[in-house]
């Protein structure tokens, strides 16, 4: 059984993330979405809110689990015996950061853990949590950029 991990801040979860989750869930037996708790990053949503939104949005995916972690990604991977870490890659803007992280993690992972990159669907290549957050906070429309469940949550919590 191949256990895969997809990590991120997911503040908020976007349709770009959803596309990667759907594809990774088809590729691997079990996919864990690991939400990072980063106390140094100013977040729109608390970890608890992000986790609640994620569970609600992914409730119909039979082989997808939701979890959170803090500290080194490699420690979380080694402790939970994941086989694969999935990352989404948009344009060249992601590449430099991602290759550095993948190569550093390769030193820290227990043997045979691979970082696998899925190229973003071009429909979503301009979407990032930061841009979605900024547009929303400045009163712009984010319909179609995040799952409807997230939109409902944002509207309910009036963030
Ligand atoms: O949503 P993001 O910001 O793209 O997620 C980045 C994330 C969480 C994958 C990355 O920041 C991370 O792995 N952080 C954990 C700390 C860590 O392991 N740092 C060393 C990376 S080589």
The answer on pLDDT for 159 being more than 80 is: no
Most confident listed range (81-85, 92-96, 151-155): 81-85
Q: Which one of 9, 50, 87, 90 is the catalytic residue?
A: 90
Provide the domain count of the chain: 1
The answer on pLDDT for 91 being more than 90 is: no
Sheet strands (E) in the chain: 3-8, 30-36, 64-69, 84-89, 114-119
Give the single-character DSSP code of 121.
P
Residue nearest to atom 1 of ligand 1 (CA): 8
Average pLDDT over residues 88-103: 92
Cβ 65 vs Cβ 28: under 8 Å: no
Report the CATH number that the domain containing residue 37 is assigned in CATH: 3.40.50.620
Give the predicted TM-score (pTM) of the model: 0.95
Q: Is 50 a catalytic residue?
A: no
Q: Is 9 a catalytic residue?
A: no
Structure confidence by residue, pLDDT tens digits, 96-105: 999 999 999 9
Q: Give 144 Cα–ligand 1 centroid separation in angstroms.
A: 26
Structure confidence by residue, pLDDT tens digits, 13-71: 999 999 999 999 999 999 999 999 987 878 889 999 999 999 999 999 999 999 999 99
Burial state string for 84-122 with b = 16 or more CB within 10 A and e = fewer than 16:
bbbbbbbeeebeeebeeebeebeeebeeebebebbebee
Q: Is 40 a catalytic residue?
A: no
Range of the domain at 152: 3-158
């Amino acid at each position: 059984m191949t256990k895969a991990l997809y990590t991120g801040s997911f503040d908020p979860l976007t349709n770009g993330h959803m596309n990667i989750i759907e594809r990774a869930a088809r590729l691997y037996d079990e996919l864990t979405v690991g939400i990072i708790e980063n106390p140094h990053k100013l977040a729109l949503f608390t970890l608890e809110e992000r986790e609640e939104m994620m569970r609600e949005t992914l409730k119909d995916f039979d082989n997808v689990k939701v979890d959170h972690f803090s500290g080194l990604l490699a420690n979380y991977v080694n402790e939970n015996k994941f086989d694969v870490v999935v990352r989404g890659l948009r344009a060249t803007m992601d590449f430099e950061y991602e290759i550095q992280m993948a190569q550093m993690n390769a030193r820290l992972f227990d043997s045979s853990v691979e970082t696998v990159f899925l190229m973003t669907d071009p429909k979503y290549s301009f979407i990032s949590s930061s841009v979605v957050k900024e547009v929303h906070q400045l009163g712009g429309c984010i319909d179609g950029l995040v799952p409807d469940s997230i939109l409902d949550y944002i509207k309910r919590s009036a963030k």
